Amino acid sequence: MNSTPPPETVRAYLDALRAALKGCSPGLIADALADCEEHLDNEIASSPDKSQAEVLASVVETYGTPAEIAEEYRDMEAAIQGPFPKSEPAPERHYGFFGVITDPRAYGALLYMLLSLVTGVVYFTFVVTGVSVSLGLIITVIGIPLALLVIGISRLLGHVEGRIVEGLLGVRMPRRLPPATAADETVWARIKDVLSDVRTWSTLLYLLLMLPLGVAYFVIATVGLSLSVGLIGGSLWSLITGESHVQITDVPWLQHIFHTAPGLFLMVIVGVLLFFIVLHIAKGIGWLHGRIAELLLVRL
């Protein structure tokens, strides 16, 4: 029998749940906390004649203790198979230098790098335009509502970006928007909570960072793929037709390579190796960007 006294406040219950989920992905913890907070708030609102401690004591009997809820979320997460299959440890044996060609995370990250320029431009343009207009109109009656609208849409964009990150990079991100404020708070209290939430500002920072990051990712992906495909396709075409139109007058030995069969075979091999290198770079960038997304977008 569990001798631990039940939490007497919602915050204490959520803190206990967070501690019980230690070691899980931030996205899973964020979803569990959001679901639990919403359920507890609804239970408290439906029993206005009872104290918060009494409601929580009843909730523990029907809904479960924080430890039990944490175990349920772990089991539920383990049962869900996403686009990236869960494998046992020691993935290096399966995804070596050449094995990366079978790793779906490499292709997902490569696609993310190609899309990041578009999303980066959209995010950056919205935040810069929204913040600039809001600050310019802050002394008018519509300045503050417009600023709050910009913040709200930014949080929504952050959530959408999280779904893209999870879908393409395989990083577990929140799958629902967290409850921003308690239902019984006044409008001004809710505004204060949103403005004091560090995730509000970290989300804006992330959306701004996506432009320079998106440009860098897009350049790396397109240059790497272009060089790889160009070397392979161009060399094979020259071998088939017997003609090479490559002219590198400043480097005679390199031009000679592109005009001989052994040199063209060598360029095909170089192009193939470059493709594998691009996949490894994309996978590394995907891992790094996933950590950035978790740090700036996940609210715990």
Q: Please tell me which residue, 66 or 195, carries the higher pLDDT value.
A: 66
Mean pLDDT, the chain, whole residue set: 81
Average pLDDT value for residue range 17-22: 86
Residue 174: per-residue pLDDT: 86
| Each residue's pLDDT tens digit, 246-262 | 656 565 666 666 667 77
Tens digit of each residue's pLDDT (9 = 90 or more) over 118-146:
999 999 999 999 989 988 888 887 878 88
Range with lowest mean pLDDT among 2-6, 30-34, 127-131, 187-191: 2-6
Q: What is the pLDDT of residues 158-203, one digit of tens each?
A: 999 999 999 999 888 888 776 555 545 566 766 777 677 788 889 9
Token readout for 195 is: 């403005």
Domain boundaries, the chain: 10-79, 96-300
